[in-house]
Amino acid sequence: MGTAGDGAEATGQRATAGGTAVRERRGSADAWGVTILGACAGWALLTAAGRDGRPEGVLLAVLAVAAGYATGRIAGALLPVAAPAVAALAGLGLALGVPGATAGPRLAAPLGHAGATAALLTLSSGAACCAAWAAAAPLPRFTLRLLAAGSAVAAAVQGSVAGCLACAGVLLCSPAAARMRHRGLALAGPAAAVAAAGALAWAVADDALPEGLAASAEGQLGGYRVLLWRDAVGMAGRDPLLGAGPGRFGELSPTATATLTSDGRPHSAALQQAAEQGLVGVALLAAAGAWVLYALWRSPRGTPVVLSAGVALAAVGVLATVGNALSFTTVTAGAGALAGVATARPLGGDEGEGAPER
C-alpha cells in the first residue's frame, strides 16, 4: 500500500514533468521565431544585392518586432497587469498626440486612414483587454475595459473608420474569449480573416473579381490604391522569385512616380512583399504571422489574454493588407510587444485568469 509521501512525490514528479514540457514548447516557439525573423532579414539582403535595393526598412521592421517581443516578454513576466496597461496608454498617446508617428497619405475616404493610427489604436485596445483579463480586482478590470473602449472612441474621433471597426472587433471578441475552451480553434478564426483579406486584396489587384463586386471594392478602397496594387502585381509577375528589390516600388511604379504625394509604397504588406521580394518574401511574411499564432497557442497565459491579443494582432494584419500600417516602426514594435506580453509567464502567478486551455 502506498504512503502519503509516495503520493506527494508522484505529484511533484508530474508537476516537474509538466513544467519541463511547457519550457520545451516555449523554447520551440522562440527558436522558430528567431529562425523566421532571421530568414526575413537574410532574404531582404539577398534580394537587394546588386539591384540598388534598399533593405533598411525591412531590417528595421525585423529589429522592431524582435525588440518589442523581448521587451513584452520581460515586462509581462514582471508586471502582467501594469505592462499591458502602460502599453495601451502609450499606443493611445502615440496615435493621438504624436503626429509624426502616424504620418502618411490618406488614400481612401470611406475606409478611413488604414495606416498607423488605426493599427496603434487597435493594439492599444488589445493591450487594455489583456490587462483587464490579467487583473484580479473588479475595479481595475472595469477601468481597463473602459480604456479599451476609449481606443474605439478615439478612432471614431480621428475619422478612422477602419480603426474604429478594428477596435470594436477586439472589444466584442475579448469577452467571448472567456467561454472558449480550445484556443487553437479560436485562433484559427483570426488567422482565416487575415488570409481572406490578403486573398481579396490580390483578387482586386489582379482584376479577378466579378464586375459588380470589383466596382464595390474599388469604391471602398479608392481607385488610386487599386492602381498601386495593380502595379505591384505587375512587378511581381515580371520577377516572381526575387521581386524588384526592397524599397524600389516607388521608383518603378508608374502610378507612384506620377503622384507628388506618394510615399512610394503600394499600401498592402503582402503586395509590397510580392513586388519587392517575390513570392518567397510573401511566404516569409506569412510564416512570421504563423509563428506569432503558434507562440500564442503555446503561451502559458490564460486563454482570454491570449485570444484578446490574437484578435488585436489579426486586426492589425487585416489593416496591413489594405494600408501601410507595417511601414511604421511604432506599429511593428507595438505588435511585437503585445505578442510578447501575451506569451510571457508572470513570475508571481497569473491571477485573474483561468488555466491555459489549448
**pLDDT-based confidence at residue 201 (cuts at 50, 70, 90):** very high
Question: What beta strand segments (E) does the chain contain?
Answer: none
**pLDDT-based confidence at residue 354 (cuts at 50, 70, 90):** very low
- The confidence score (pLDDT) of residue 107 equals 56
Q: Would the CA dihedral through 306, 308, 311, 312 be positive or negative?
A: negative
Per-residue b or e along 73-95, where b marks 16 or more CB atoms closer than 10 Å to that residue's CB: bebbbebbbebbbebbbbbbebb
Of 28-32, 98-102, 149-153, 286-290, the poorest mean pLDDT is in: 98-102
Q: Give the rounded distance of the alpha carbon of 297 from its chain centre.
A: 15
Contact yes or no for 245/43 (Cβ under 8 A): no
**pLDDT-based confidence at residue 63 (cuts at 50, 70, 90):** very high
Whole-structure pTM value = 0.88
Please give the angle made by the CA atoms of 110, 116 and 120, to the nearest 5 degrees: 110
Side-chain half-sphere exposure of 188, counting CA atoms within 13 A: 6
Q: How far apart are the first and last CA of the chain?
A: 36
Cβ neighbours of residue 162 closer than 8 Å, sequence gap 6 or more: 111, 112, 113, 114, 118, 319, 322, 323
Residue 321, all three cell numbers = 493588407
Cβ neighbours of residue 22 closer than 8 Å, sequence gap 6 or more: 300, 345
List pLDDT tens digits, range 99-136.
Answer: 555 555 555 555 555 578 899 999 999 999 999 999 99
Mean local confidence (pLDDT), 84-109: 76
Q: Would you tell me how many other CB atoms lie within 10 Å of the CB of residue 101?
A: 18
Concatenating the DSSP letter of every residue in 20-50 gives HHHHHHHHHHHHHHHHHHHHHHHHHHHHHTT
